[in-house]
């Protein structure tokens, strides 16, 4: 491994392609700090950053093994581009499902978990569920309807728009205002779920 640390990136890639697995390890060790740090600064979540970092190198390995790597001498910018694209993909996925954060920075809809737990845990979940339901009941009908259809029925905004006979933008707006109103209620009542 020590003999590999001084080799240029392209030579390490060539060695990896010819079956030298430790060449990839040297490449990862050389660039892991820059790639991981850039991912972490984008997603601001240690565990998510670790997952995306692993996905980056899975893509790198797949691309190199399949012979599709063509970025001679430009490994780091290429790997950073993969990392950036995976972060963008993550945010696109997250953007499709707006979230409300609880007092301890958890998604309000993750708090309501219907798995089998102890009696005390079920009671706490039921109380949290009741609080969310109570807050939902205070929302204007159109906002409540969109939130319920999106988070509980898991419908797309296109399906919600069709079902409620409005445009997609109107459905999105109702969701946005509903989430804003829920967040305000939580802050005003100092509700922690």
* Chain segment 125-177, per-residue pLDDT in tens: 677 777 777 888 888 988 888 887 787 667 788 888 887 889 999 999 999 99
CATH class as words, domain 9-95: mainly alpha
For the whole model, what pTM was predicted? Answer: 0.50
- Give the Cα separation of 64 and 17 in Å (integer): 7
Mean pLDDT of 22-51: 88
C-beta separation of 65 from 74 below 8 A: no
Q: How many CB atoms sit inside 10 A of residue 13's CB?
A: 21
Domain map (residue ranges) of the chain: 9-95, 108-188
Q: Which residue has the higher pLDDT, 163 or 35?
A: 35
- Give the Cα separation of 177 and 154 in Å (integer): 18
Model pLDDT, residue 147: 84
Helix (H) or strand (E) holding 71: none
The yes-or-no verdict on residue 38 having pLDDT over 70 is yes
Mean pLDDT of 176-192: 81
Say which CATH architecture domain 108-188 belongs to. Answer: Orthogonal Bundle (1.10)
Model pLDDT, residue 173: 92
The yes-or-no verdict on residue 193 having pLDDT over 70 is no
Tokens 């039921």 appear where? 126
pLDDT digits (tens, 9 = 90+) for 77-127: 888 888 888 888 888 777 665 566 666 666 665 555 544 455 666 676 677
Model pLDDT, residue 115: 45
pLDDT digits (tens, 9 = 90+) for 44-82: 888 999 999 999 999 999 998 888 888 777 888 888 888
Chain CA centroid to CA 113, Å: 19
């Amino acid at each position: 491994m020590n003999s590999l640390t001084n080799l240029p990136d392209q030579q390490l890639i060539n060695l990896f392609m010819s079956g030298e697995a430790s060449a990839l390890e040297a490449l990862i060790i050389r660039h892991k700090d820059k790639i991981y740090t850039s991912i972490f600064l984008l997603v601001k979540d240690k565990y998510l950053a670790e997952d995306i970092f692993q996905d980056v190198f899975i893509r790198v390995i797949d691309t190199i093994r399949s012979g599709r790597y063509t970025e001679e001498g430009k490994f780091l910018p290429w790997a950073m581009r993969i990392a950036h694209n995976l972060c963008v993909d993550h945010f696109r996925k997250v953007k499709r499902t707006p979230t409300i954060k609880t007092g301890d920075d958890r998604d309000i809809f993750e708090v309501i978990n219907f798995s089998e737990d102890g009696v005390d845990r079920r009671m706490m979940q039921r109380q949290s569920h009741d609080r969310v339901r109570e807050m939902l009941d205070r929302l204007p009908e159109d906002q409540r309807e969109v939130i319920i259809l999106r988070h509980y029925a898991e419908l797309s905004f296109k399906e919600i728009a069709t079902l409620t006979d409005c445009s997609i933008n109107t459905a999105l707006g109702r969701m946005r205002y509903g989430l804003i109103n829920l967040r305000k209620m939580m802050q005003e009542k100092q509700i922690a779920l």
